[in-house]
Each structure stands twice: as C-alpha cells, then as structure tokens.
Amino acid sequence: MADDKPHLNLVFIGHVDHGKSTLVGRTLFETGAIKDHIIEEYKKEAEEKGKGTFAYAWAMDQLEEERDRGLTIDVMHKRFDTDKYYFTIIDAPGHQDFVKNMITGTSQADAAVLVVAAPEGVMAQTREHTFLARTLGVDQLVIAINKMDATKPEFSEDRFNEVKDEITQLLKSVGYKDEQFDIVPTSALKGHNITRDGEQIDWWDGKRFLEAINEFTEPEKPIDKPLRLPIQDVYSITGIGTVPVGRVETGVMKPGDKVTFMPANVSGEVKSIEQHHEEIPKAGPGDNVGFNVRGVGKDDIRRGDVCGAANDPPTVAETFTARIIVIDHPSVVTEGYTPVFHTHTAQVACTFLELQKKLDSKTGEVKEENPDFLKTGEAAIVKVKPTRNLAIEKVEEFSELGRFAIRDMGKTVAAGQVIDIEEKEM
C-alpha cells in the first residue's frame, strides 16, 4: 500500500512562464496520477482556448481564472507515487502578484523543484524564490533546466551548461552546498528526460528528473515536540462542522485531542482527521490534513492561526528579536519601518522597534551596535512588534515556525529567524 511509503511534501518554484505547472502535470501523468483521457480532454480544451501548450499545466491550474490567464494563483495539493515515496505536490505560484502564496507553499515543503527555463536562464524571480527556499528551510533541491526543446539550436548542451553554471553560482551565493542540489535538463512539454530518455538529449548521461527527486532524503520528523499546525484554510462542512486545513509541523494529532488555536485563543476537541479524502488515525509532521474540531466555529479561527496542544499552546508575541538579512531594499531600513512579515501561513505587518546590532553577513560577528539604518546585503539583529496578534516561535525550538520573509512594495525585501520572544498575555 502506498501509505506504507515515507511521505514528502514537494514544492515547485521558479519564475513565471518557466514551465512549473507543465512539469507538475507531466510528473502526475508519467507516474499515473492523471490518466491519459484526462490529459486528452485538457489538450482539446486548451487548443480551443488557443493555449495548446497549457494542457499539462491544467492538471494543477483548476481555477477558471488561472486557465484564462495562464497563471497559477493559489497553492494546490496533488498526490503522486514513486517506488520509494509518496509525494504531495504543492504547486506554488511564480507570478509576482502571488508570491505570498508561494511563501506559504514553500514553508510547508520538505524539498523543492526549482524550474529554470533554458532559453531565459536565471531571472529576478528565480533569485527571489531561491533565497526564500533557503530562508524558509528547504535544504534539498532538484533544479529542472526546462524548455530544452526551445533552445537554439534545440536541446543545446552548451546552453544547458551555461544555465547550469549560472544557477550553481546563485545557489552557492545563498548558502547551498553541492550535496544539497541536483541539476537536470528537461522538456516538460515534450516529456524528455522526465522518466525516459529524450533522444534529442543524447549528450546527457545523468539522472532523469524522476530519478533525481526519488533520491531526496526523508527529513527527521519532530514527533516528540508539542503539536504545532499552522492553519491554511477553514471550512464549514454541512453535517460535519468546522474543518481547519493545514500541515502538521511538529508533534502528533489524534482524534480526542484537546487543542488550542492561537492567537484566536479558542479551544476545542479533535473529532476526526482526513488526508487525501481518507480518514486517518493520527497525523504527524509533514502531513497536510483537514480535521474536524468540536467547540470551535468557522468564524472563530482563520488562516495564520496556529493549532497546538491545549496544555502547551502556541506562543503569541508581544515583541520578538530576530536575526535578519536585507535582500533587496530600494533605500534603507530604519526604526519605525512597518512592512509585512510572512511566517508559516500568517501575514502580519510588524514595526521595527530597535536596530540592535549590525552583523557580518558571512561570519555573524557584530560589526556595529545600534546602527542608524540597514541597506541591501546587510545582516542585523532587530527587535520588532507585530501590529496585531501573531503566533510565532523561536527558531531553535520550532524551526518551522521561527522563520519569516519580509515583503514590501510587491517584493521580498528581507528574511530572517526569530531568536527571542517577549510573550503576550492572552
């Protein structure tokens, strides 16, 4: 049975139009998760809309608006199996408008596929997504250099090597080591080097795409820690009741457990747990689940809340101290600056109260006490105050809930980790 296999959450990231959704669809098709006749229907429908190349992408892009625009907006979950793992694919949007959803998807992932189109190579969003993957704790990657059928000449080995060098340099600049990533050529549209040899890529004697992702390692599961499950959505289902949905980050959840949601500060009892539409006896780290909870109304909780054990509830911060690095800010960061912090599934504006120390970004040593400002490329220790209640944890205790990205002006300006918290009385 597939469920006896280890489970991995896999996110597909990369610049818009580089073929992420098509590679997802091709992967689902080649592993038998989507049947031939479904793809044939998509092909026909895509051609009628004048988007013949989008058939595989539609396997994930099920929102009508996405089909019409050819973009991925929300984070979708789909399952497929290899001989070693069963994977849940999180298809994260690449379009700039939707980076906040991409952050949610990436913060839930055990591993990532970074898709880079061979003709264009590394783009601005490739850089942003790579940095976010690193910051959000994704420590194993396969890079699919995609659209090899669109290089000039077709399936150019020279062009593959140029992009490979470019992406290797980028990965190392954000702190990835050689053993943490694998780079393979693909044509998701034509199906080359996904599960079978592409005759046109006859110069390639390395792994195929599915072989590469099959070599990911299963991360250690923090089952001994208290339960932490950030809420992604909340549904009210007739005849069942309130059903929050999210991924277990730490601990174990079982029916009968008493749980508390923070910062909503409401409690209830878990009645049942479902994964991929099947009821399961318990959920552990890495499981994306929906669970029915008694005693909590749909409007009592929302995306961004965190579910924890009633006797060890999630932490709500009055203020917190963090180590940050400024990735890309057009001017400078000063005290009083209030951008939006994205952590797990929450998005909350936070104000910089103090710039405490400027650090050497490579060694972490203190360069300056109480600096007046921070600019792009600089690292620092800062104290911040959320503008509304925020459940967040220290990175050393719950690494999954202690990392964040900072966004402003439609882009990621900084990223960081929580090192200390002044708890709020609730």
CA angle 39–40–46, rounded 5-degree value: 85
Cβ-proximal residues to 337 (8 Å cutoff; 6+ apart), any chain: 351, 352
Gap between the Cα atoms of 316 and 425, Å rounded = 8
Gap between the Cα atoms of 381 and 94, Å rounded = 30
Indicate whether this model's pTM tops 0.85: no
**Percentages (nearest 5) of helix, strand, coil residues in the chain:** 25, 35, 40
pLDDT at 120: 95
Backbone angles phi, psi at 191, to 5 degrees: 85, 15
Question: Do 380 and 327 touch, CB atoms closer than 8 A?
Answer: no
142-180 pLDDT, tens per residue?
999 999 999 999 999 999 999 999 999 999 888 899 999
Query: Considering the chain, what percentage of its residues have pLDDT values greater than 70?
Result: 84
Burial 56-86 (b: 16+ CB within 10 A, else e): bbbbbbeeeebbeebbbebbbbbbbebeebb
pLDDT at 132: 75
Give the residue among 285, 371, 366, 379 at the shortest CA–CA distance from 324: 379
Question: What's the mean pLDDT in 328-339?
Answer: 92
Whether 71 shows a pLDDT value over 60: the answer reads: no
Cβ-proximal residues to 146 (8 Å cutoff; 6+ apart), any chain: 18, 19, 22, 23, 115, 116, 117, 118, 186, 187, 188
191-219 pLDDT, tens per residue?
889 876 566 788 999 999 999 999 999 88
| Tokens (6 digits) for 60 | 């994930």
Q: Determine the residue type at 404.
A: F
380-392 pLDDT, tens per residue?
999 999 999 999 9
End-to-end CA distance of the chain: 45
Q: Write down the residue that tokens 């995609």 correspond to.
A: 146
Which domains are present in the chain?
2-214 (3.40.50.300), 228-309 (2.40.30.10), 317-423 (2.40.30.10)
DSSP 367: E
| Tokens (6 digits) for 110 | 């055990």
pLDDT at 196: 67
Question: Do 149 and 46 touch, CB atoms closer than 8 A?
Answer: no
Gap between the Cα atoms of 406 and 401, Å rounded = 14
Q: Determine the residue type at 327.
A: I
Cβ-proximal residues to 248 (8 Å cutoff; 6+ apart), any chain: 227, 228, 229, 283, 284, 285, 286, 287, 289
pLDDT at 68: 53
pLDDT at 199: 67
